[in-house]
Amino acid sequence: MKKILLTLVVSALFSSCATMTLYDWGGTGMRSASAYEQLTYNHYDKQTPESFCSLLCLYEKMVTRPGGSRKMPPPGICAEYGYMLLLPQAAETFLNHASSAQRAQFKDRDIASYFHGRGTEMLEKEIALYPESVVFIRPLLKKLSGK
């Protein structure tokens, strides 16, 4: 009886050690912060065109190849990505400052029209994935579309 009890206790301890994440935040970078945390902080701290391009590429990766146990983008990522794509100077900034590797991530698309369409698509996707976001996203969509 003691062996069975000991086996159950040890099994319970080891099974609780595994970490299961619901969402992938872009991998782990320096000091155990996620790539999302690092790039977002860097962008909003310095706001350089290069940080903008890096953040766009990370968002594209996070929405096209979501990880985690849910296999979907984390809450807010589609909205933030869509908003950034719809900023007035987004396409121009990307075209002028993106590295060749970053440009390759978006293939040979017309960046200006792609960013506009993809931005709207991402805001709609945020609503589809997280319906509670509709109260924030609908007014934003109205404002950005000029209606």
> Percentage helix, strand, coil, to 5, in the chain?
70, 0, 30
What's the pLDDT at 24? 73
CB atoms within 10 A of CB 118: 20
What's the pLDDT at 10? 62
> pTM of whole model > 0.85?
no
Is 51 within 8 Å of 39 (Cβ atoms)? yes
Give the max Cα distance, the chain.
Answer: 73
Residue listed under structure tokens 């293939």:
107
What's the pLDDT at 18? 54
H or E element, residue 55: helix 49-64
Mapping DSSP to helix (H, G, I), strand (E, B) and coil, where does residue 28 land?
strand
Backbone region of residue 71 per phi and psi (left: phi > 0; alpha: psi in -120 to 50; beta: other values): left
CA dist., res. 67 & res. 31, Å (int):
21
Across the chain, which has 147 residues, the per-10-residue mean pLDDT values are: 66 59 70 78 88 93 86 92 94 94 87 93 96 94 76
Q: Where are the domains of the chain?
A: 23-145
What's the pLDDT at 99? 93
What's the pLDDT at 48? 93
What is the torsion angle, in degrees rounded to the nearest 10, for the CA atoms of residue 12, residue 16, residue 20 and residue 21?
150
Is 87 within 8 Å of 47 (Cβ atoms)? no
